């Protein structure tokens, strides 16, 4: 094997697309998907890879030091792509400590394990996958660049900012080879239906209310998840050590406009009368400390690594709706059990 890459959080939304891309594109790499399978982790996302010779799954929490050490030893890990995290802003508002434990302490634990295991730090890469939310909110226009000062506003973004700082500190203090990318909002198959787009697709299908926070005027920049996975491939192979790369879709939308678009698409696909699903739109109490606007300037990765999104939003969103409609059993599986408790506690 040319490389033995540990991908953490590979059973989650973005991680599953990264694992699939690497397993299929690089048969001479061994890919170890390490994930403790929280509510957001789902091995159904990777069923097609189960028989691949270069794919291994390991159910481990990134806070379990001894088990992590064993994985590094057993598979002689050469590089890390770290995606495991608590990822939902609303959950971070109700339970910030869970975010500190996984996103901050888990990341430091992983950094320590890698540092102790790798004898020559120059030969190995620790790639940390992060978010544009670390930069705060763009209330007065402009774009986030790689030099925008950090200004996290939610417990989630504070925990991700902290983990980014630890990764940079390990590069500076111990000479670890690291790279960080900060991406905007992803959408596409396998996303847990607590996030805006899959939640609305699910609720439109079930004729349930579509909860729009505040007036729906907050703006997000959306990127199709497979395009993010392609960007991670580029950064992993061509990114310069110590650098940060912003990844975005050049695709800003107000939340209300996205929800209305989903209603139109779903009316057409489900054979409903025009305007029927839009009646489900319900304006609810705003998210506490809700960031107004995120927008990524992704020129650096475009110019230096040649990456750009391959799909327009119009194509990506149709593909996404089709995937959820075609994968009814996936959606049923993840919305049974605990999902209902979370949903009712959050929205009632």
Active site residues: 132-133, 156
- What mask of x and - would describe binding to ligand DAU in positions 78 to 117, judged by CB under 6 A? ---------xxx----------------------------
Burial 128-164 (b: 16+ CB within 10 A, else e): bbbbbbbbbbbeeeebbebebeeebbbbbbbbbbbbb
**Residue entry with tokens 């999902």:** 339
- List the single partner that 36 binds among ligand NAD, ligand DAU, none, CB under 5 to 8 Å by kind: ligand NAD
Only segment of 92-100, 205-213, 243-251, 266-274 that touches ligand DAU (CB under 6 A): 205-213
| Cα-Cα-Cα-Cα dihedral sign, residues 76, 121, 158, 106 | positive
- List the single partner that 14 binds among ligand NAD, ligand DAU, none, CB under 5 to 8 Å by kind: ligand NAD
Nearest approach, Cβ of 88 to ligand DAU (angstroms)?
5
Dihedrals φ, ψ of 204, to 5°? -65, -45
Of 4, 131, 154, 178, the one binding ligand NAD by CB under 6 A: 131
Of 184, 190, 246, 251, the one binding ligand DAU by CB under 6 A: 184
Only segment of 142-150, 183-191, 261-269, 335-343 that touches ligand NAD (CB under 6 A): 183-191
What's the CA gap between 253 and 236, in Å, rounded? 29
- List the single partner that 102 binds among ligand DAU, ligand NAD, none, CB under 5 to 8 Å by kind: ligand NAD
- In the bound state with ligand NAD, the residue whose beta carbon lies nearer, of 221 and 277, is 221
Binding of ligand NAD at residue 100 (CB under 6 A)?
no
- List the single partner that 287 binds among ligand DAU, ligand NAD, none, CB under 5 to 8 Å by kind: ligand DAU
> Which of 207, 211, 194 is closest to 284 using CA atoms?
211
Nearest approach, Cβ of 267 to ligand NAD (angstroms)?
26
What's the CA gap between 18 and 213, in Å, rounded? 31
Q: Residue number with the shortest CB distance to ligand NAD?
A: 12
Binding of ligand NAD at residue 157 (CB under 6 A)?
no
Q: Which residues contact ligand DAU by CB under 6 A?
A: 87-89, 131-133, 184-185, 195-196, 199, 211-213, 218, 220, 255, 287, 294
């Amino acid at each position: 094997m040319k490389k033995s890459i540990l991908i953490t959080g590979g059973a989650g939304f973005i991680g599953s697309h990264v694992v699939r891309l690497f397993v299929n594109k690089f048969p001479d790499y061994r890919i170890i998907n390490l994930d403790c399978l929280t509510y957001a982790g789902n091995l159904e996302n990777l069923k097609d890879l189960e028989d691949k010779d270069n794919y291994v799954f390991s159910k481990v929490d990134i806070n379990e030091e001894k088990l992590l050490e064993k994985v590094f030893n057993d598979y002689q890990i050469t590089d890390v792509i770290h995606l495991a995290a608590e990822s939902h802003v609303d959950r971070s508002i109700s339970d910030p400590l869970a975010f500190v434990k996984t996103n901050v302490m888990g990341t430091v634990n992983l950094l320590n394990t890698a540092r102790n295991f790798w004898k020559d730090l120059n030969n190995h890469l620790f790639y940390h996958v992060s978010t544009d939310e670390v930069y705060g909110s763009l209330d007065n226009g402009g774009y986030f660049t790689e030099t925008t000062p950090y200004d996290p506003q939610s417990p989630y973004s504070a925990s991700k900012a902290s983990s980014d700082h630890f990764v940079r500190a390990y590069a500076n203090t111990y000479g670890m080879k690291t790279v960080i990318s900060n991406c905007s909002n992803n959408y596409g198959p396998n996303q847990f239906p607590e996030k805006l787009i899959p939640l609305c697709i699910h609720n439109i299908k079930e004729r349930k209310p579509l909860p729009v926070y505040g007036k729906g005027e907050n703006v997000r920049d959306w990127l199709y998840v497979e395009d993010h996975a392609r960007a991670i491939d580029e950064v992993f192979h061509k990114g310069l050590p110590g650098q940060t790369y912003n990844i975005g879709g050049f695709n800003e939308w107000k939340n209300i406009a996205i929800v209305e678009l989903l209603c139109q698409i779903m009316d057409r696909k489900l054979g409903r009368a025009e305007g029927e699903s839009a009646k489900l739109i319900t304006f609810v109490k705003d998210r506490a400390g809700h960031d107004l606007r995120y927008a990524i300037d992704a020129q650096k990765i475009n110019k230096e690594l040649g990456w750009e999104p391959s799909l327009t939003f119009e194509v990506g969103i149709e593909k996404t709706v089709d995937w959820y409609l075609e994968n009814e059993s996936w959606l049923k599986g993840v919305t049974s059990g605990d999902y209902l408790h979370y949903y009712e506690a959050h929205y009632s």
